[in-house]
């Protein structure tokens, strides 16, 4: 009987760890071209990779330790040892998001696709939580306020300043300023952002620093009698908020004594 001849596979050169190179990732202009990490690989396979860091690594503020930033590598510098990146989104940690929603409160969530002035498309997930349970009509108006304010900012800002407004809580503060007139909020947070598409030209050459003030956005909200807070409810909510604040301060003081 004839034995079947085995086909020999062509020999391929094994790639070792020593053949790879380290590349330093540089943040975009809105983050002052900081070095945000290193990746290992070859020049032809590091493009498109994403690097994740904490906002705490940039600001050194402990309150930012729950916010994760994501950057995407887009090109290599001529010297070959560094690579440029663009902001690709952010997300809060799951335990932080769970801590936002307390017992007996209402969660108002809005997911929007927004296109900035320079044609960058973002997807934002925003969560507002009330001190106590709000009526459905009040939740509808709060969702409308979130949508209108974010759309107005996206229409008038380029992507760099828009991302600064997301990360440094400017949009959240303006949403809270208007939405708290419908029902008192315990917090408002843009918990997640993601870049869906970018224009062919890449990054905009015009840089607007985050120190520049944002315009105040006014939103016309049609209030119904059902959406207004009754006087008795308003008083009860204030008492509840004051009692909750004093309870938290007592627990903090007891923890410090322990």
- Tens digits of per-residue pLDDT, 113-165? 999 999 999 999 999 999 999 999 999 999 999 999 999 999 999 998 999 99
Structure tokens at 19: 């053949």
pLDDT in tens, 50-97: 999 999 998 899 999 999 999 999 988 877 789 999 999 999 999 999
Residue with the two structure tokens 């909510």: 237
Tokens of 204: 């905009």
Residue ranges of domains in the chain, CATH in brackets:
22-92 (no CATH), 94-197 (3.30.479.30)
CA 13, 16, 22, 25 dihedral sign is positive
User: What distance in Å separates the CA atoms of residue 208 and residue 206, rounded to the nearest whole number?
Assistant: 7
Q: Is 248 helix (H, G, I), strand (E, B) or coil?
A: helix
The string of pLDDT tens digits covering residues 191-226 is: 999 999 998 765 544 444 444 566 676 666 666 555
Name 208's Cβ contacts closer than 8 Å, sequence gap at least 6: 157, 158, 160, 161
Q: Phi then psi for 88, rounded to 5 degrees? A: -120, 0
CA distance 46 to 179: 44
The pTM for the full model equals 0.76
pLDDT (tens digit per residue) in 100-116: 988 889 999 999 999 99
């Amino acid at each position: 009987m004839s034995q079947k001849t085995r086909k020999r596979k062509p020999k391929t050169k094994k790639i070792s760890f020593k053949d790879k190179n380290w590349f330093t990732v540089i943040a975009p202009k809105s983050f002052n071209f900081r070095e945000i990490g290193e990746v290992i690989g070859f020049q032809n396979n590091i493009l498109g990779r994403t690097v994740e860091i904490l906002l705490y690594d940039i600001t050194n503020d402990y309150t930012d330790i729950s916010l994760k930033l994501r950057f995407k590598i887009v090109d290599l510098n001529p010297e070959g040892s560094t690579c440029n990146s663009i902001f690709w989104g952010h997300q809060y940690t799951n335990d932080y998001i769970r801590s936002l929603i307390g017992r007996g409160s209402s969660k108002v969530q809005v997911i929007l696709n927004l296109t900035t002035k320079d044609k960058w498309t973002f997807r934002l997930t925003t969560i507002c939580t009330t001190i106590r349970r709000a009526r459905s009509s009040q939740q509808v108006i709060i969702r409308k306020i979130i949508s209108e304010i974010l759309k107005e900012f996206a229409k008038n800002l380029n992507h760099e300043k828009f991302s600064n407004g997301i990360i440094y809580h400017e949009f959240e503060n303006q949403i809270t300023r208007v939405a708290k007139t419908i029902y008192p909020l315990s917090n408002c947070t843009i918990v997640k952002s993601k870049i869906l598409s970018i224009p062919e030209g890449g990054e905009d050459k015009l840089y607007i620093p985050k120190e520049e003030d944002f315009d105040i956005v006014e939103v016309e909200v049609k209030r119904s009698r059902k959406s207004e807070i009754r006087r008795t409810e308003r008083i009860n909510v204030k008492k509840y908020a004051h009692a909750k604040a004093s309870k938290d301060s007592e627990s903090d003081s007891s923890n410090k004594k322990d």
